[in-house]
Amino acid sequence: MVLGLTPGDSVLVISPHLDDDALGAGGTIARLTVDGIDVHVLTVACRTHPGSDPKTRMAEFDEACTVLGVTSHHTAWVDTDGATNPGARMAELVHLIEAGPRLSLRQLRPTGLLIPAAGSFHQDHQAVHTAAIAAARPSAYAPRIVLGYVGPEDTAWAQHGPPARRPVAVDTSGVWETKVKALTCYSSQLREAPHPRSLATIRAMDTAAGSSVGTAMAELLTVYRLVA
């Protein structure tokens, strides 16, 4: 049983871009789906820029979600003004997560919500975190579990500042190979070591997280709400 969730529960994962969910919480997602939890992934933005085109990125996303066993997934803003600068459309972004027509808190009424943790250096991640916190405020469809995940680039950069407090650990030892398989779907985005988005670096980070809690591998999550 992961995070106190049982079959029949559902989790909504909010991802700023098409690979952030797998990079920051791929092991947690795999643990949840293996345990029979329905996981839905809402990606906010996908835009064209050098070395990245939406058609390739969305095909990679489809493949990775299949590997992770995700129940459903959707990309909201593709090559729109919102995709270029989500933070400039904060009201729309909050509404998208809270009550959008596809994968939203109102439509799914999930037990759990995974969002980008606070403190990212990336402006899109900052905007999505802020909007998700606003959307998850106490309401008729507020999830009882709200946790934040951190991507490898933010983890690496955090070494230059005060350590983030991430008190929840998910043992991902048994699903590490599934996470790797999902990450390799994003061939356009992975890099060679020592880049933070290399498999070797991600393995080292997950191993270090596991060592901090007595497991082989782990992902560390920040708690924003946990109602027992």
Q: What are the pLDDT digits (tens) for 160-198?
A: 444 466 789 999 999 999 999 999 999 988 899 999 999
- pLDDT above 80 for 127: yes
Q: What domains, with CATH codes, occur in the chain?
A: 10-226 (3.40.50.10320)
The average confidence (pLDDT) of the chain is 93
If you average pLDDT over residues 92-102, what whole number do you get?
Answer: 96
State the Cα–Cα distance between residues 56 and 63, nearest whole angstrom. 11
What proportion of the chain, given as a percentage, has pLDDT over 70?
Answer: 96
> What pLDDT is stored for residue 225 in this prediction?
96
> What pLDDT is stored for residue 177 in this prediction?
98
If you average pLDDT over residues 55-59, what whole number do you get?
Answer: 93
Contacts 24+ apart (CB under 8 A), 162-166: 164/117, 164/119, 164/222, 165/222, 166/117, 166/220, 166/221, 166/222
What proportion of the chain, given as a percentage, has pLDDT over 90?
Answer: 83
